[in-house]
Amino acid sequence: MTEENTGNKKAKTRGSRKIIILSVVASLLLALACFIALALVPAPDGPPLKDPLRSLLTGLGVLGVAAPLCIAGFTLKKCFASSPYFEGKFIATVLNVFGFACFAAGLACIILGVYDWIVQFLESSQ
């Protein structure tokens, strides 16, 4: 009975590793695509902070960077949960803090971009 449980545990571990790796790669590819598109978009005529497309692309790119940091932090936290040493937990916490900061910055960029789009829409309709 224990051999079956061990086999199931190994299968779950392999599957979860693949999912983690795929999610990290997908989010980094999203970030790279957003930053490349951001570099290719022509410069705005007005102030650069009033361009909603640039704000949305920046926000999505920063969220793409935040996801691997959070995933790595949670994975390391799980790996070092039973360890008596604090280094692994400290590194996991640092990764989680940087991931949360990137998440907050990306979310702020997206919210401000949507707000700018709404303001532009309301100004053009009047």
pLDDT in tens, 8-25: 555 556 668 888 899 999
- Separation CA 102–CA 107 (nearest Å): 8
Angle at 93 between CA 69 and CA 90, to 5 degrees: 125
Tell me what the pLDDT averaged over the chain comes to. 86
Quick one: which of 113, 106, 75, 115 has its CA closest to 91? 75
In tens, the pLDDT along 26-58 reads 999 999 999 999 999 888 787 766 788 899 999
Please provide the DSSP assignment of the chain as one string. -HHHHHHHHHHHHHHHHHHHHHHHHHHHHHHHHHHHHHHHSPPPSS-GGG-HHHHHHHHHHHHHHHHHHHHHHHHHHHHTTT-S-SHHHHHHHHHHHHHHHHHHHHHHHHHHHHHHHHHHHHHHH-
Specify the pTM: 0.79
pLDDT(2) > 70: no
The pLDDT value recorded for residue 80 is 86
Alpha-helical regions (H) of 41-86: 52-79
SS3 at position 97: helix
Give the pLDDT mean for 61-87: 89
The pLDDT value recorded for residue 82 is 85
> Residue ranges per domain, the chain?
2-125
Terminal alpha carbon distance of the chain: 73
Give the pLDDT mean for 99-110: 96
The pLDDT value recorded for residue 114 is 93
